[in-house]
Amino acid sequence: MLWLWFVPYVNLVAQTVDTLDSQSTETGLIARHLAVARNETPEAGQVLVSTVQGVASAKSHKAHYTDKSDDGERSLAAYIALARARGLQIGLIVDEAHIALHLATEFGRFVKWLEADYLLMASATPKDAQLNDFIASAGNIAFKAFSVSRRAWWPSG
């Protein structure tokens, strides 16, 4: 499994990579910045982190994500194709999904293009109508939601 993890803000990229790195001994996951890692060989257990804006562009969508490549840089489409050719499944994690996943946004178009094998959506606003519309249009076979109470995370006191 190769994971792509998208966050809404630039400052969360480094924070997410650092947090995953600090847990790599227990998880076996290798966190990297997507912009750097797409020039490397895709491997199972990699988690490539970027902002939503890092892939959300009409130009990239129209080019089927083959743009932003040259002799020294692999396109996102080429990277994903290489990962699939190596037998890797693609997992997609979207932080603040209620903000990022909308039918009419470039990121929403990217998610549909990607056709990830797994889609994990994190949201503090899970009953958002636009998010539910996106889920319904994504064509996923199964959808499972769960809630985590703040009480489970905050000490009483």
Instruction: Quick: pLDDT tens for 73-126.
Output: 899 999 999 999 999 999 999 887 777 777 677 888 888 889 999 888 877 776
CATH of 2-152, picked from 3.40.1360, 2.60.40, 1.10.260, 3.40.50, is 3.40.50
* Domain-wise residue ranges, the chain: 2-152
Encode 48-63: b = buried (16+ Cβ within 10 Å), e = exposed: bbbbbebbbbeebbee
Q: Which alpha helices (DSSP H) does 23-154 contain, by range?
A: 24-27, 34-37, 58-62, 76-85, 97-100, 106-114, 129-137
pTM tops 0.75, yes or no: yes
pLDDT, averaged across the chain: 83
Structure-block tokens of residue 68:
């932003």
What contacts 121, CB < 8 A, 6 or more positions away?
Answer: 93, 94, 97, 101, 131, 135
The whole-angstrom separation of Cα 93 and Cα 142 is 16
